[in-house]
Structure 1
Amino acid sequence: MKKFILSFSILISGACMFASCNLISSAGLSSKGLPTSEAPEDLTSTTANSAVNVDHSTWDALLKKHVSANGMVDYKGFQKDRAKLDEYLKMLSSMEPSNDWSVQEQLAYYINLYNAHTVDLILRNYPVKSIKDIDGAWTDGFVKIGKTTISLGGIENSILRKMNEPRIHFAINCASISCPKLLNEAYTAGKINEQLDKVTKEFINSDKNEISKTSPKVSSIFDWYKKDFQQNGTVVDYINKYSTTKINSGVTLSYKDYDWNLNEAK
């Protein structure tokens, strides 16, 4: 019996370590009834096909002011602008996404919602060395959308990942060094396809990966969410779409350790 308990404990411990990103695909497995339109394979940027065009200009100005070109965040600067951030979050909360919104508007809204609330979460717990030091960072329901309350994990796993657009993994930011960088501009329906392409190319060709033809070592994101990247081929096929260095077919990927230290500008 003791041997069984020990083995079971080791199994659970290993599972928890594997799922530590944001309790990877188990956090908040409910969309709370919020709409999740699927993006077409040939997504285009447009504001012309939606009942609503959300104004993200306040968030855009904050990002341009407090986030560097390489994605490092001036959280102390954000603290001084809490009133503007609160105003933006309140505006997002007052919106009620519906199926009358275009997929472009939904993508921009949910990505900005996730990123803005992640910044707010850090500010509410600042100073903090890592988002993983915050209990319930991805599982607690603190994001308000109309009368609905949802977790960050719920937004990612039950809304954004259901929208048939793997590039969202390079747009949402988990406030950590190894995460795809926080883009220093707001996502908008009028630029969404170009923005998603930009952050995907930048991440894949950055030092977050060590890409070579025969021995690539890539971000653990490609391991945690591999099913999302296998919609039209292998994970290697997906990486090769954006990588300047092409990985040979059939090569086995290895994965880099994830640095969960805060992405704070020094």
Structure 2
Amino acid sequence: MLITITSLTGSPGASAATLALTWTWPRHAIAVECDPSGGQALAVFDPGGSLGHRGMFEAMLAARTMPLPRALWQQAITLPDGTGRHFLLPGSRTTRTAESLQWQRLVEAVRGWESVDVLADCGRLRARGTPHAVLGSADLVVLVVRNDRHSLRALASSADVVREEIGLLGSADDGLVVVSQVSAGAQRFGVKEIDRQLGKLGLPVVGELPWDPSAAAQLTDTFNPGKRFERSPLLERARQLGLEIGKRAFARSRRLREPVRHVPASGLSSQREVVRRPQALPMPRPVREGEQHAGG
């Protein structure tokens, strides 16, 4: 399966979410850095540079003398989670080298890894060099959005643009799900309420990642975990989210690969679904201090 993780402008968290999900994924998985702004994860897990220069750009060079899937896999490193089944394929270190990558060719190559699920960090939507070929080829796209009034309103007002950017065919296409990201100091809304409102736009909310800067820093800054890292709120929630995301991606992957059933021309008009664009989306009510948090 190919699952991509992305975020809106002003809603960071795609990189931490990708690595947290990969770290806790129930099957063999590899985090692939497709962020056009450049990858940083190799420096987190190999700060001394003992592994040398690794990444997709180096794989493209090596593919002159070997198959690309093999060249890519040789560039991967094993994540130090103790399982031996979670990996990282570093991205390009700069925007310039990222722009030189042949994304469609890379997608076709990683699709050949049938025994491992691919979780691709695509950075922020509508950024310079967005890897549209990766987003459009995904079995499921996970959009990380900050749980605050401004970010949720921005997503609601740009739902059609987001789908177009990802390459989905209207609101009936279930290839996009939302994960809310709690941030410090912002009004927080209940997950069930966000799902109720965004669900009207065909944007189901599958869960929420907590505000856990200490655990997130281990994955995006300097890896020096303490004893509580494996039981941190971030990883605990990522384990739950991974099961739901994996289930949805697997179901859609099977459905997309089923043989197409031919519909008689006479029945097309009666089966065509009319999608009406909603007028306005009311914002969910914030969870106040001391109040039960709906959905989690």
TM-score norm. by structure 2 comes to 0.25
Q: Choose 1 or 2 for highest CA Rg.
A: 2
